[in-house]
């Protein structure tokens, strides 16, 4: 990410979640707050840019849907933009809410972007501490959006500005009230933008001091990331779009590499979902364009 710039990927991800909440049914993940964090002007501009860029995504669809702007936007959003942000959020929050039922009191969101969990779960304000960690520019961008939407930051939400690609600082967390107790971490839409070494160092830093029973949910790209085309070239398009936005994708893993990386940090894989399993769990029996993204896997790992 460039200095003093907010993350474009966080904005596009929020757009995809907002679109799904407003227009798609059935819901995979209903982020009804996301639309409040994006201005009408931005929604209009993103929609227009996507529609005008249909040739980039798929020339055949551009011809088939010529003159049908709303259907073009639906196709691009459901095929390209929404699948991974929706399903990974749905998976992560299901795991998180189960952990809360088991007594979890502390949640750390790495690369939080425009996350809205605390605003959708006000009932947890007195029982769950939430720490959002992100690049300072992205965090300032979010705070301004919360102000513009007249959303009051709840008492259990703590912002921690950090470039964790360089060095993870537990002290910054502790300064905001983080305690040495069982913690749930989420790392969504981040691992691909870090090198393998940065991913390994981050996981190691997170769990060096975390108590037994702490866990993490994250998504990662498999070893086919840079070769796989995907439906309508969407995997290739994703890689190109990330590079063009100034946030290139840097890493992909075999399952064994992920397993070894986690084992070095004292973690066991509790659950692993492949693209086929993600599709079965979140996208089955749909009549629209939404399907699980090729090459993207989800993992829930636990400190033993």
Q: pLDDT, tens digit, for every residue of 94-114?
A: 999 999 999 999 999 999 999
> What Å distances lie between residue 11 and 17, 246, 264, CA to CA?
10, 14, 34
**Is residue 238 domain-resident?**
yes
Domain for residue 248, yes or no? Answer: yes
Q: How many CB atoms lie under 10 A from the CB of residue 67?
A: 6
Q: What distance in Å separates the CA atoms of residue 225 and residue 254, rounded to the nearest whole number?
A: 10
pLDDT reported for residue 6: 54
pLDDT the model gives residue 164: 86
Provide the token pair at 190. 């981040």
CA distances from 216 to 95, 219, 244 (A): 9, 10, 30
Number of structural domains in the chain? 1
Residue at 75 is within a domain: no
Query: In which domain, by residue range, is 108 found?
Result: 83-303
Distance (Å, whole) CA 143 – CA 289: 33
DSSP string spanning the chain?
--TT---HHHHHHHHHHHHHHHH-SS-SS--TTGGGGS-HHHHHHHHHHHHHTHHHH-HHHHHHTTT-HHHHHHHHIIIIISHHHHHHHHHHHHHHHHHHHTT--EEEEET-TT--HHHH-GGGTTT-EEEEEE-HHHHHHHHHHHHHTTPPPPTTEEEEE--TTT---HHHHHHTT--SS--EEEE-S-GGGS-HHHHHHHHHHHHHSSPTT-EEEEEEEBTTTTT---GGGHHHHHHHHHHHTT------B-HHHHHHHHHHTTEEEEEEE-HHHHHHHHTTT-SSS--PPTTEEEEEEEE-
Q: Give the residues across from 272 on adjacent strands.
A: 299
- Give the Cα separation of 282 and 292 in Å (integer): 8
Q: What is the pLDDT of residue 4?
A: 39
Q: What is the pLDDT of residue 109?
A: 98
The pLDDT of residue 7: 63
Report the percent of the chain where pLDDT is more than 70: 98
Evaluate whether residue 29 is within a structural domain.
Answer: no
Question: Which whole number is the average pLDDT over 201-220?
Answer: 96
- The answer to whether residue 273 is domain-embedded is yes
pTM of the model: 0.95
Q: Tell me, what CATH number does 99's domain have?
A: 3.40.50.150
Burial of residue 41 (CB within 10 Å: 0-12, 13-18, 19+) is: exposed
Instruction: Examine residue 180 and state whether it is found in any structural domain, yes or no.
Output: yes
How many of the other CB atoms lie within 10 Å of CB of 60?
Answer: 8
Among the listed residues 272, 290, 164, the one whose alpha carbon sits nearest the alpha carbon of residue 222: 272
Interval 224-253 mean pLDDT: 95
Per-residue pLDDT tens over the stretch 2-51: 443 456 778 899 999 999 999 999 999 999 999 999 999 999 999 999 99
């Amino acid at each position: 990410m460039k200095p003093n710039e907010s993350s474009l990927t966080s904005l596009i991800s929020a757009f995809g979640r907002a679109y799904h909440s407003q227009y798609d049914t059935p819901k995979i993940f209903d982020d009804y707050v996301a639309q409040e964090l994006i201005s009408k002007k931005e929604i209009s501009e993103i929609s227009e840019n996507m529609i005008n860029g249909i040739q980039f995504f798929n020339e055949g669809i551009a011809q088939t849907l010529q003159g049908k702007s709303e259907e073009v936007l639906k196709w691009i959003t459901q095929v390209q933009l929404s699948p991974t942000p929706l399903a990974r959020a749905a998976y992560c929050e299901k795991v998180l809410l189960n952990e809360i039922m088991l007594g979890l009191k502390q949640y750390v969101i790495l690369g939080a972007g425009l996350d809205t969990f605390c605003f959708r779960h006000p009932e947890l304000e007195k029982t769950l501490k939430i720490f959002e960690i992100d690049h300072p520019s992205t965090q300032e961008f979010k705070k301004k959006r919360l102000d513009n939407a007249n959303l009051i930051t709840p008492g259990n939400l703590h912002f921690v500005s950090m470039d964790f690609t360089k060095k993870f600082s537990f002290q910054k967390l502790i300064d905001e009230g983080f305690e040495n107790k069982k913690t749930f971490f989420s790392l969504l839409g981040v691992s691909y933008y870090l090198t393998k070494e940065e991913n390994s160092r981050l996981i190691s830093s997170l769990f060096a001091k975390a108590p037994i029973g702490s866990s993490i949910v994250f998504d990662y790209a498999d070893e086919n990331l840079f070769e796989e085309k995907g439906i309508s070239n969407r995997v290739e398009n994703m890689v190109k779009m990330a590079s063009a936005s100034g946030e290139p994708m840097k890493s992909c893993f075999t399952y064994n590499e992920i397993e070894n990386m986690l084992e070095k940090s004292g973690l066991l894989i509790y659950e692993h979902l492949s693209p086929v399993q993600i599709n079965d769990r979140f996208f089955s029996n749909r009549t629209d364009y939404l399907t699980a993204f090729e090459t993207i896997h989800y993992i829930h790992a636990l400190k033993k």
